Structure 1
Amino acid sequence: MDPEYFTSYDMCWGTLGTVRPFPGFHADRDALEIQAALESKNAGTLVRILTNRSNAQRQEVAQAYEGQTRKDLAAALKKALSGDVEVLLLELLMPPVQYEAYRLQQAMAGLGTDEETLMEVLCTRSGPRLQEIRAVYKQMYKKELEKELKGETSGDFAKLVLALLNKSEAAGSVQRDVETLSASLNGKKAEAAPWIEVLTSRDSDHLNKVLTGLELTSGQTVNLTVEKRFSGDFRLGLSVLVQCIQNADVYLARRLATMKSSLVHGIMVSHCEEDLLCIRAAFVKLTGASLYSSLQKQFKGDHLQALLAICRSED
C-alpha cells in the first residue's frame, strides 16, 4: 500500500468508502510505472497502484497509458496477468455504472441464472441509478436490459424483478400498506401482487415501518412469513428485498461471509467508494471476525493483497 495514502490532509474522511482519491496523483507517472510493471509482469506494482486510486483516477491512468503506448490498459492487463487477480484488477478498471451492468450481464450469462445477484444489484441501487445502468447496459451489450431480464425470469419473480428495475417512490399510508400485506396472506395461497406493488414503490423509511407493523400484526418476522407463505424464485427474491429494506449492510455482509470469490469481488468493488466501512462493521457483528482477517484465511498471493488494499484495514 502506498504510504502517501494516509498522509494527506485532503483526504475525504467523511466518506463511508474505503478507497479514496490518492493524494499527489499524477496519471502520467502512474501510467509509466504500470507500463514497466506490465513488461516485467510485476503484479505487485499493478495491485499497489490500481487499488490505491479512486475509480475516477483509474480512468485517467487508463487514458494516460493509452496516450503513451497506443494500447488499451485492460487488454494489456489480460496479457500480463491471470487468475483471480487479473479478474479483480479488470473489474476495478470499469467505471461504476458499467461494472453494475457487467454484473447483471454475468448473472444472466451461460446456463442458468444467478437470481440472487440480480436481486442484490436491483435491491441496493436507487431508481435513478438503475436507469443509468439500463442505458449503459444497452451501450455495452446492444440489448435492452428489461428484455434480457424478461427472458431470464418467469412468473411472479419476473414481475418482481421488472418492478424493481422500474421502481419509483410513491406516497402511501403505512397502516394501509400493513393491512394490504396482511390481507394478501389470508387465503390458502398468498398473493404476490400486493407485495410487489408495495415493496417496490415506497421509500425505505416507510417500508421499514410497514415491515415492523406487519411483524406486530402477524407475531412473526417478515422473513419467516416469506419463507412459509411463498415458494421458488419469488420467495428468494422477496427474501432478498426484505433483507435489503431492513438492513442492506447486513445482507451484503452475509453475502461476503460466503467468501465466494465472485461475490467478494462484486460487493467490494461496487461498494468500496460508497459504504464498505458500514458493510465491514456489519460483517464483524454478523461473524465475530473482521472482513480483513477473514480474507486472509481464504485467499492468497497478489489476489489477497489486492482485496486487503480495497478492504483497507482491520476492524
Structure 2
Amino acid sequence: MDPEYYQSHNMCWGTLGTVRPFPNFYPEQDVVKIQAALERKDAVTLVRILTNRTNAQRQVIANTFEELTQKDLATGVKKTLSGDVETLLLELLMPPLQYEAYRLQQAMVGLGTDENTLLEILCTQSGEKLREISTTYRQLFKKDLENELKGETSGDFTKLLLALLNKEAVVSGVQRDIESLSASLNGKKAETGPWINILTSRDSHHLNEVLQGLELQRGHVVDQVLEKRFTGDFQMGLKVLVQCIQNPDLYLARRLVNTKTPIVQGIMVSHSEEDLLCIRAAYLKLTGTSLYTALQKQYKGYHLQALLAICRSED
C-alpha cells in the first residue's frame, strides 16, 4: 500500500471511494514529472500519478500541462502509450459528466446496442446527474440523448429508458403503489405502465417497501414475477432496475464478475471516488474473492497496475 494513500485516507475519512484527494498537491511538480515520463515513455510514472489523484486534481494537472507546455495532455498520453492502459488513463482524464456521456455513446455506437451498459448508467445515477449528463452529451456529440435512445431501442424498453433518463421523485403511498403493481399483473397480459411509472419515480427506501409488500401479496419474489409476466429487453430492464433498487452495490459487483475490460473499467472509473469500497465488499461477499485478487488473475502489465491502484487494496 502506498504510504501517500494513507495520508489521503486520513484527509477524507468517511468517504466510500478508493481514490481520494492527494495531499500536498502541487500540479506544477506533477506536470514536470509527467512531461519527462511522456518523453521517456515511462508508463510507471504516468500510472502512479494519474491513478493517485482525484478527477478534480487531474483536471488541474491537464490545464497546468497545457499552460506550461502548450500541448494537450490526453494527446501526449495517446502518443506515448497504447492498448488498455492508454484507454484507462484517457478515461481517468475525462471529467465525470463527460465520461458518463462517453460511455452512453459507446454503448450505442456502431452495430448493436449494449443495453446492459445503458441500464447500468441510467439505473444507478440520480435524476439530477442524468440531466447534467444529457446536457454534456449534447455538447460533446451534437445529438440529443433522448432521441439517440429512441433510435437504438424500441417498445416498452424505450419507454423504461426514457423514464429513467427523466426520473423525478414523486410522493406516493406505499400501499397504493403495491396495489397498482399487483393489479397490473392480474390481466392476461401484464400492464407495463405502472411498473415504469412507479419504479422510476420513487426513492429507493419507498420502493424497497413496495417490492417487499408486493412479494408478500403475490407469494413470489419480484424476480420470479418479472420472469413470469414480462419478456425480452423490457423484462431485463425491470430486473436490472429492481436489483439496483434493492442493492446497487451487489448489482455492480455482479457486473464486475463479467471481467470484460470495458465493463470493469467503466465501473471502477465511474465509482472510484464515490462508492467503490461498497462495491468491493459486495464483490467479496458474492464471489468469496477480493476484487484486488480477481484483477490480478485477469489482467497484466501496466494496465493491471493502474486497475490495482484504483482498487487500492485487498479486502
Q: Do both proteins adopt the same fold according to a TM-score greater than 0.5, normalized to the shorter chain?
A: yes
Q: Deviations over 1:23-59 (max 9, x none)?
A: 1111011011011111111111100000000000000
Aligned partners of 1:7 and 1:214: how far apart in 2? 47
Alignment match, 1:39:
39
The structure-2 alpha-carbon separation of the partners of 1:174 and 1:57, relative to structure 1 and needing over 3 Å to count, comes to same
2:130 partner SS: helix
1:83 alignment partner in structure 2: 83
Q: Distance in 2 between matches of 1:202 and 1:271?
A: 23
Q: Displacement, 1:2?
A: 4.8
Partner of residue 131, structure 2:
131
Identify if the C-alpha distance between structure 1 residues 54 and 9 changes in structure 2 by more than 3 Å, giving closer, same or farther: closer
User: Are residue 171 (structure 1) and residue 150 (structure 2) matched?
Assistant: no
Report the number of matched residues: 315
1:1-315, aligned counterparts within 5 Å?
2-7=2-7, 11-315=11-315
CA distance in 2, matches of 1:292, 1:218: 41
Q: Which amino acid aligns with 2:237?
A: G
Amino acid at match of 1:197: N
C-alpha displacement of 1:221: 1.1
Please report the TM-score for the alignment, with normalisation by the length of structure 1: 0.98
Cα separation, 1, equivalents of 2:139 and 2:269: 21
Amino acid at match of 1:270: S
Separation in 2 of the partners of 1:101 and 1:7? Answer: 32
Matches of 1:113 and 1:203 in 2, distance apart? 28
- Any idea what the Cα deviations from partners look like across 1:47-95, whole Å, max 9, x if unmatched? 0000000000000110111112111111111111111100100000011
Task: Kindly indicate whether the alpha-carbon contact (under 8 Å) linking 1:207 and 1:245 is maintained by their aligned counterparts in 2.
Answer: yes
TM-score (norm 2): 0.98
3-state SS of 2:25 partner: coil
**Cα distance between partner residues in 1 of 2:307 and 2:259:** 12
Give aligned-pair identity as a percent.
71
CA distance in 2, matches of 1:195, 1:9: 41
Structure 1 segments (4+ residues) deviating >6 Å: none
Structure 2 unmatched runs, 5+: none
Letter in 2 for 1:222: V
Give the superposition deviation at 1:7.
Answer: 3.2
What is the CA RMSD across the aligned residues, in angstroms?
A: 1.1
Per-residue displacement from partner, 1:169-224 (whole Å, max 9, x unpaired)? Answer: 11111111111111111112111111001101111110000000111111111111
